[in-house]
Amino acid sequence: MLKADKSDKKIVAIGGGHGLGRILSSLSNYGSQVTGIVTTTDNGGSTGRIRACQGGIAWGDMRNCINQLITEPSVGSMIFEYRFKGNGELDGHNLGNLMLTALDNLCIRPLEAINLIRDMLNVETQIIPMSEHPSDLAAFTHNGEIISGETSVDELQEIPKRLFLEPAVPATKEAIEAINDADLILLGPGSFLTSVMPVLLLRDLGLALKNCNAQIAFITNLDKEHGPAGKMSLESMLHWCERAMNGRKIDTIITDKPQPELAQRFNLQIEDLASNNHEWRHDRDKLKHAIDKLIASR
């Protein structure tokens, strides 16, 4: 059952990894009204090793989001979160990644595999992979090189000239439908180049964002990132998003700091967002309050 204080507004959050998981868990009281569209280009860690030998999309970011949405610990959730340790080939592998890969190998659609896991773990929030076709993040550098792979992009010493997906793949149809039906779309927080941007690089998804009737909000990180994204200004990040969305303007920026240089172009919603324990981590309750306020203002 959805909790009584839920809005009837439909919310779509776009990103990957810890940042998207944080947003989705903060909005868990909205239940199935919330959809996370998750990046599938990771090629590092357990996910990267599985992709190298089995192919397929990257499962790690989806698994991370599902983990953060588990509210009732169970044997099933313990199994899904289990990470192997030791000296053998299983060392470092997450069992959730292997379960999702096994379901995929049984010719079940990646989205259906995710829904089976969601049902098993009683997760109401919708989780949709950005694409059900494998693709890698790649970058053009300013000196003409092509760098392939999310981990390699993260290790660049300079901001790339632009990003692209290799190969170009279609968005999951349910992701497009969620955007078309959305009242509010959230970009970020999280790793800008490797979590937020890959989803926006899908051509049909970018067109859907351009033509949607939803309010689009960008949620800033609370600290500078490591890697090339840490050298980007907020204004540059917003420009990259708008370019990927075919010129669609971002309506609101939810941030913890005044941004006077952006005040004329964007609606700024300045909030205390930091966790009391870690200043670089968004507090779930504060995020929920900020997003509730944004919804109420519509």
Rounded CA gap, 135 and 88, in Å? 28
Question: Which pLDDT does position 11 carry in this prediction?
Answer: 98
Helices (H), strands (E): how many in the chain? 12, 10
Mean pLDDT to the nearest integer, 232-251: 97
Nearest CA to 128 out of 110, 116, 105, 150 is that of: 110
Phi, psi (5° rounding) for residue 53? -105, -20
Q: Which residue has the higher pLDDT, 106 or 179?
A: 179
Nearest CA to 198 out of 228, 160, 165, 231 is that of: 165
Q: Is the pLDDT of residue 3 over 80?
A: no
At 159, list the tokens: 């901001």
Q: Which range, of 80-89, 111-120, 214-223, averages the lowest pLDDT?
A: 80-89
Q: Is the pLDDT of residue 287 over 50?
A: yes
Q: Is the pLDDT of residue 10 over 70?
A: yes
Phi, psi (5° rounding) for residue 139? -140, 145
Q: What is the pLDDT of residues 17-66, one digit of tens each?
A: 789 999 999 999 999 999 999 999 999 999 999 999 989 999 999 999 99
Rounded CA gap, 170 and 121, in Å? 29
Rounded CA gap, 249 and 211, in Å? 11
- Helices (H), ranges, 55-172: 60-69, 75-81, 95-105, 110-121, 150-154
Question: Which pLDDT does position 157 carry in this prediction?
Answer: 94
- Whether the Cβ atoms of residue 153 and residue 42 lie closer than 8 Å to each other: no
Instruction: Report the percentage of the chain scoring pLDDT > 70.
Output: 98
Mean pLDDT to the nearest integer, 155-166: 97
- Residue 5: band (very low, low, confident or very high) from pLDDT cuts 50, 70, 90: very low
Question: Which pLDDT does position 2 carry in this prediction?
Answer: 38
Mean pLDDT to the nearest integer, 111-126: 93
Q: What is the pLDDT of residues 169-186, one digit of tens each?
A: 999 999 999 999 999 999
* CB-CB neighbours of 270 under 10 Å: 13
Instruction: Report the percentage of the chain scoring pLDDT > 90.
Output: 80
At 44, list the tokens: 């590092």
Question: Which pLDDT does position 1 carry in this prediction?
Answer: 33
Q: Which range, of 33-37, 117-121, 163-167, 275-279, averages the lowest pLDDT?
A: 275-279
Question: Which pLDDT does position 73 carry in this prediction?
Answer: 78
- Residue 6: band (very low, low, confident or very high) from pLDDT cuts 50, 70, 90: low
Q: How many CA atoms within 13 Å lie on the side-chain side of 248? A: 22
Roughly what angle, to the nearest 10 degrees, separates helices 60-69 and 17-26? 30
- Highest-confidence segment of 3-7, 9-13, 64-68: 9-13
